């Protein structure tokens, strides 16, 4: 991985020419979050799915309406500007594609 400036250049080359400042900022934000997640995995700073669910139940309380494990709630539209999963997963960048698959997002 290159410098932060190199990463931003690479992102700019991959997004459409008519992308807004907000689109550009969001792609940079997502890339930073992916990189931080990969760093956490490399340093074993992770918890199991079961532990995450236990913490969420404790945080939200058992009467929060949380669905049991394995039940997926509906998400926003795949074409929503706030749901970059589809645009990132369709990217020609194999790093982004692998990251979105690794984190359980729909490619």
Q: Which of 56, 38, 48 is nearest to 1 (CA)?
A: 38
Instruction: Let me know if residue 107 belongs to a domain.
Output: no
- Does residue 62 belong to any structural domain of this protein? no
Residue 64 lies in a domain: no
Residue 69 lies in a domain: no
Q: Are 1 and 13 contacting, i.e. CB atoms less than 8 angstroms apart?
A: no
Predicted confidence at residue 2, as pLDDT, reads 80
pLDDT for 79 equals: 44
In order along its 107 residues, the chain shows pLDDT tens digits of 689 899 999 999 999 999 999 999 999 999 999 999 999 999 999 999 999 999 999 988 865 555 666 656 555 444 444 544 444 444 455 555 444 444 444 44
Residue 32's pLDDT is what?
94
Number of domains in the chain: 1
| Residue 98 is assigned to a structural domain of this protein | yes
Q: Taking the CB of residue 87, how many other CB atoms lie within 10 A of it?
A: 19
Q: What confidence score (pLDDT) does residue 92 get?
A: 53
Residue 97 has a pLDDT of: 47
Closest of 87, 80, 85 to residue 104, by C-alpha: 85
63 domain residue, yes or no: no
Q: Find the domain containing 92 and state its range.
A: 4-46+77-102
Residue 57 lies in a domain: no
Environment class of 14 (CB within 10 Å of its CB; exposed 0-12, middle 13-18, buried 19+): middle
The answer to whether residue 95 is domain-embedded is yes
């Amino acid at each position: 991985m290159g410098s932060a400036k190199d990463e931003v250049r690479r992102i700019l080359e991959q997004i459409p020419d008519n992308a807004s400042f907000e689109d550009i900022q969001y792609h940079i934000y997502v890339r930073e979050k992916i990189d931080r997640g990969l760093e956490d995995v490399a340093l074993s700073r992770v918890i199991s799915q079961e532990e995450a669910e236990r913490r969420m139940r404790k945080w939200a309380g058992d009467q929060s309406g949380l669905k049991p494990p394995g039940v997926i709630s509906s998400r926003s539209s795949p074409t929503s500007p706030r749901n970059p999963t589809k645009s990132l997963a369709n990217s020609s960048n194999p790093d982004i594609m692998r990251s979105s698959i690794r984190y359980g997002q729909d490619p």
